[in-house]
Amino acid sequence: AEAHTMQVVQSLVQIASAHCPSEIAAFEQCKREAGGAYCESLDLAVLQCASRRVLESARGTPSVG
């Protein structure tokens, strides 16, 4: 189950790389400035953005933003 979870997270990161540039930029900036220790909420925002893209794609909903 843990390996499957890691595969899902890796897939979401790939999707985020292609479709969530502002979320990734905010997370990367936080990591540079705070060393990553305080960036969990921004990390989650990246994964939530990617998850929305997956759901939009599954429903055939056009992506916005």
Instruction: State the DSSP code for 61.
Output: P
Q: Which pLDDT does position 62 carry in this prediction?
A: 63
Give pLDDT < 50 ranges for the chain.
Answer: none
The length of the chain is 65
Q: Which pLDDT does position 3 carry in this prediction?
A: 82
Counting DSSP H helices and E strands in the chain, the numbers are: 3, 0
Q: What is the pTM of this model?
A: 0.80
CB proximity list for 36: less than 8 A, separation 6 or greater: 30
List Cα–Cα distances, 7 to 4, 26, 61, in angstroms: 5, 23, 25
